[in-house]
Structure 1
Amino acid sequence: MTKSELVEIIAEKQGGITRREAEVVVNTILSVIGDALAEGGHVELRGFGSFSTKQRNARLGRNPKTGDSVMVPAKTVPHFKPGKELRERVGSAS
């Protein structure tokens, strides 16, 4: 599902809002989550999951084209951990 498909579904299920209003809501939610993670925060949506950041250590990598060793610097990456309800819904969908 893409972001535009999500916007369409929200607009359809919520009869009182337009597609444009649904797009503003989706963009605002994603922006708030991104801002919180950029500040090193944690976002928890009960029943869905939690977003946080993890620190990756510096490591020695390889350039796949040349085979040369390259030092990959340490970095902070976003991380999502699904909640219990989401894990159960996905697990029972098989």
Structure 2
Amino acid sequence: MRSTETLTRAAIAEAIHTKLGISRAESLAMVEAILSHMCEALAEGQNVKISGFGTFLLRDKGERIGRNPKTGVEVPITPRRVLTFRASQMLKNRIADGS
């Protein structure tokens, strides 16, 4: 895979199909089930940690004052919940090594 490409659900399912020898439909269903389970956990307010990969963290951001960069007018930014990803040290090392 070149660095300009994007890894998709279909590509993940195809890799599972190739490595495990299960049908394409089963591998796609497996990918969908995993992603669905992760989404449900995040929607319920749980963090998702995948050992050796990273952690998806939910953070509550409070209300604050922002500024329109074009006009300089101050605008209140409403409180919200944001999703962040923190890569594991193992993933960071693999990316740095290029492997």
Please, what TM-score do these two structures have when normalized by structure 2?
0.78
Aligned to 2:15, which of 1, 5, 9? 9
Q: Which amino acid aligns with 2:14?
A: E
Equivalent residue number for residue 3 of structure 2: none
Identity %: 36
Please, what TM-score do these two structures have when normalized by structure 1?
0.81
* Counterpart check, 1:93 vs 2:88: no
Three-state SS of the structure 1 residue aligned to 2:52 is: coil
Q: Which amino acid aligns with 2:36?
A: S
Structure 2: tracts of 5 or more residues without a match? 1-6
Deviation >4 Å, runs of 4+: 61-64, 66-70
**Take 2:25 and 2:68, find their aligned partners in 1: how far apart are those partners?**
44
Aligned to 1:23, which of 19, 28, 31? 28
